[in-house]
Structure 1
Amino acid sequence: MKTITLSDNFSCSAATVVSIGNFDGVHRGHQKLIREVVARAEQKNIASVLITFEPHTRTVLYPELSPNLLTTFEEKATLIAQCGVDYLLKITFDRSFSQLPPDEFVRQILVKRLNIKEWVMGEGHAIGKDRAGGKIFLREAMSKYHIPIFTANLLMKDALIISSTQIRKFITEGQISEAVGMLGHPYLISAERVQGLKIGSQIGFPTLNFKRPSSQKVIPPPGVYAAELSFEDTILTGALYFGDCPTFGQREVHFEFHALELNGKMPEPGETGHIWVHRFIRKDRPFSSTGELAAQIEQDVNKIRQYFSEEKLQWR
């Protein structure tokens, strides 16, 4: 997948199938829509394009109501690339761009720059100033250019609409299994490795330490989780701790990852690792001694080892 921007002075000589969205979390509903874009482009032997925004449109239009996000742009691009899209058009969203009339969006971007031949839209899609370009407008505008439209329906799970809003709620409440069920993949947290105090090594469970990401990123509650760590070509399974280490006094909130098996290349301090959170194991709490803590970690690791050997989500 190639990421492009409006400032790249590009235009698609090849015809395209296009869709648009914030795609926060790239959940199963998004994936269904993206698969339609890719499949329809392949059927026509043309290119597939997704349009997304940076920053999220709500952070510009309604900053006081803007939610914390499931994915940074880089995380979003990583997940979208796994869906087989040819091009990701990243539009810098600001007040100026938000004033672009919907008919100009269609003419300037979809027709002139992207050479669109089919539009795939989700429920509630709207484009242009004040979201004036809704379903009725889009059908009329696309008809003017003889561009067919396919509408992807909403996806449900356990009687709930799969949405970024619902997934944010699940994660902040520690309901990781429910969130992962809607995401269709473990929850991705990209974090910079930092030098730790080596306390884990002293009690028999060495860890890699990672800085807490931006406060705008949705983070699960403090506790222990089954997780994977990926870096370059290495993928490790292990125990993820998130918290401030109350047993050792208040420390800065951070992540620690203990690998079940150490093999492959690890991120060095200053490098970014990708943490994939699979399942909640237990809440964070202080322990009366390092011996009591080590005994609890051993129980946690055994549960996590069992999860990865028997119940691991198959998603790659």
Structure 2
Amino acid sequence: MKIYNSLEAFTATGKTIVTLGTFDGVHKGHKTIIDKLIKSSRATGCESVVLTFFPHPRMVLQQDSDIKLLNTMNEKAALLEASGIDHLIVHPFSHAFSRLTADEFVKGILIDKLNIRKIIIGHDHRFGRNRTATLHDLIVFGEEYGFEVEQLSALEVNEVSVSSTKIRNALTEGDISTANSYLGYPYMLTGTVVKGRQLGRTIGYPTANIQISESYKLIPAGGVYVASATVDGKLLKGMMNIGTNPTVGGVAQTIEINFFDYDAGLYGKNLCLQLHERLRDEIKFASTEELKRQLGLDKESSLSWFKSYNL
């Protein structure tokens, strides 16, 4: 898959099959669209193109919106690449872009830039300045310029929108199992390992402190989770805490993971954590000894989870 940081960077070498959207989460609903895109491109000998945008349109058009996203751009790109598409265009979304008329968008982008043979889109899709153009208008443009419009059914569109809403709600409530069932993969947190207070070492549970640089990334509800990461090709199993570590006087939120049977240095490494199951709320214990005992139980529960899934 080739990635382009703007429409200007892309040059079509032949006809393309295109879909567009934010694709936040690249969840099961989105994969319905992607599968249609790939199937159609292979059947016609065209190249598949996903056009997405960053920042998220709501970040630009609703500046008071505190929207949290399911993926960072790197996570989204990795998921889309795994799906098998040929080209990913991440175009900077701006007020100027939102002011393109429907005709400017179709002629200037879909025809002149992307050289489309077909576009796959939702039946309720609106586009152009003030989102005034409808699917019917797009079909008319297709007849004029010679491209096909394949629309998703209302059921398929509903699956995409409902999934996104349910995933965000589930993560906010700490229901990682439901979120993962809609995503079709374990929810990810990607960040750099930085030096923390190193208090975990004193009680036998050293942790890697993960710093996520993207402020828009949705962090699930606080608590203890079964989690894993792949480092240098090896799957590392562990347990992760999202919270403030109240037992040892913590205040700021941290994301820390204790890997089992791994003691190599991780500082400075970029890790992609996969969250599998939430074990419990974060608790303020009366002593570090009580905390240590609970961590032992959490480790047993985590190992049992990995064993049950043959990981």
Fold equivalence (TM over 0.5): yes
Structure 1 residues 160 and 105: CA distance shift in structure 2, 3 A: closer
Matching of residue 165 in structure 1 with residue 165 in structure 2: yes
Alignment of 1:39-58 (within 5 A): 39-58=39-58
Q: Is 1:254 aligned to 2:259, yes or no?
A: no
The answer to whether the aligner puts 1:105 opposite 2:105 as a matched pair is: yes
Match of 1:227 in 2: 227
Q: Provide the secondary structure at the position in 2 that maps to 1:113.
A: coil
Cα contact 1:246–1:286 (8 A) shared by 2: yes
The corresponding residue for 1:274 is 272
The whole-number CA distance in structure 2 between the counterparts of 1:139 and 1:156 is: 18
Partner of 1:180: 180
- Aligned partner of 1:34 in structure 2 is 34
Quote the Cα distance in structure 2 between the aligned partners of 1:275 and 1:262: 15
**Identical-residue share of aligned pairs (%):** 33
Q: CA–CA distance in 2 between the matches of 1:150 and 1:266? A: 51
Q: In the superposition, relative to structure 1, how do residues 86 and 286 fare at CA in structure 2: closer, same or farther (>3 Å)?
A: same
Post-superposition shift, 1:234?
3.8
Q: Is the 8 A contact 1:3 1:87 kept in 2?
A: yes
Q: Give the 3 Å change call, closer, same or farther, for CA 66–123 of structure 1 in structure 2.
A: farther
Distance 1:140 1:79 in 2: 33
The one-character-per-residue Cα deviations of 1:242-293 (angstroms, maximum 9, x if unpaired) are 1111010024211111123438x86432x42111112111000111222211
Alignment of 1:304-315 (within 5 A): 304-311=302-309
Supply the distance in 1 between the matched residues of 2:99 and 2:250 (Cα, whole angstroms): 47
TM normalised by structure 2 equals 0.91
Q: Give runs of aligned pairs for residues 69-148 of structure 1, distance below 5 A.
A: 69-148=69-148
Name the Cα RMSD after superposition: 2.3
Q: 1:194 to 1:19 in 2, by over 3 A?
A: same
* Structure 1 unaligned blocks of 5 or more: none
DSSP-derived class of the 2:141 partner: helix
Structure 1 position 240 matched with structure 2 position 240: yes
Q: Counterparts of 2:113 and 2:160 in 1: how far apart (Å)?
A: 37
Q: Which amino acid aligns with 1:93?
A: F
3-state SS, counterpart of residue 229 of structure 1: strand
Matched pairs, number: 310
Relative distance call for 1:116 and 1:243 in structure 2 (3 A) is: same
1:155 CA drift (Å): 4.6
Spell out, residue by residue over 1:173-205, the C-alpha distance to the aligned partner (whole angstroms, 9 max, x if none).
Answer: 111111111111111111121112322222222
Task: Tell which deviates more after alignment, 226-235 or 111-120.
Answer: 226-235
Could you tell me how far apart the structure 1 residues matched to 2:209 and 2:201 are? 12
- Evaluate the alpha carbon distance shift between residue 62 and residue 86 of structure 1 in structure 2; reply closer, same or farther with a 3 A threshold: same
CA–CA distance in 2 between the matches of 1:305 and 1:68? 31
How far residue 231 of structure 1 moved from its aligned partner, in angstroms, is: 4.3
Residues 1:121 and 1:141: Cα distance change in structure 2 (over 3 Å): same
Q: Offset at 1:302?
A: 1.4
Aligned twin of 1:290: 288
Contact 2:190 2:212 (C-alpha < 8 Å) held by counterparts: no
Offset at residue 239 of structure 1 (A):
0.6
Distance 2:280 2:211 in 1: 21
The answer (yes or no) to whether the contact 1:212–1:253 under 8 Å persists in 2 is: no
Going from structure 1 to structure 2, the CA distance change for 1:302 and 1:126 (only over 3 Å counts) comes to: same
Shift in CA distance, 11/237, structure 1 to aligned 2, threshold 3 Å: same
CA distance in 1, matches of 2:124, 2:285: 49
Partner of 1:207: 207
Displacement of 1:296: 0.8
**1:116 Cα shift?**
0.8
Alpha-carbon separation, structure 2, partners of 1:113 and 1:152:
24
* Alpha-carbon offset, residue 213 of structure 1: 4.5
Kept after mapping to 2: 8 A contact 1:33/1:122: no
CA-to-aligned-CA distance 1:25-71 (integer Å, 9 cap, x gap): 11111111111111111122221100000000111112224521111
C-alpha distance in 1, partners of 2:175/2:146? 46
Which stretch shows the higher mean deviation, 180-189 or 160-169? 160-169
Contact 1:18 1:49 in 2 (8 A): yes
CA 1:103–1:235: 2 relative to 1, 3 Å? farther
In structure 2, the partner of 1:149 is 149
Deviations for 1:56-94, whole angstroms, at most 9, x for unmatched residues?
011111222452111122221111111111111111001
Alpha-carbon distance, 1:97 to partner: 0.7
Task: Tell me how far 1:129 sits from its aligned partner.
Answer: 1.5
Shift of 1:128: 2.0
Q: Structure 1 residues 302 and 122 mapped into 2: Cα distance closer, same or farther (>3 Å)?
A: farther
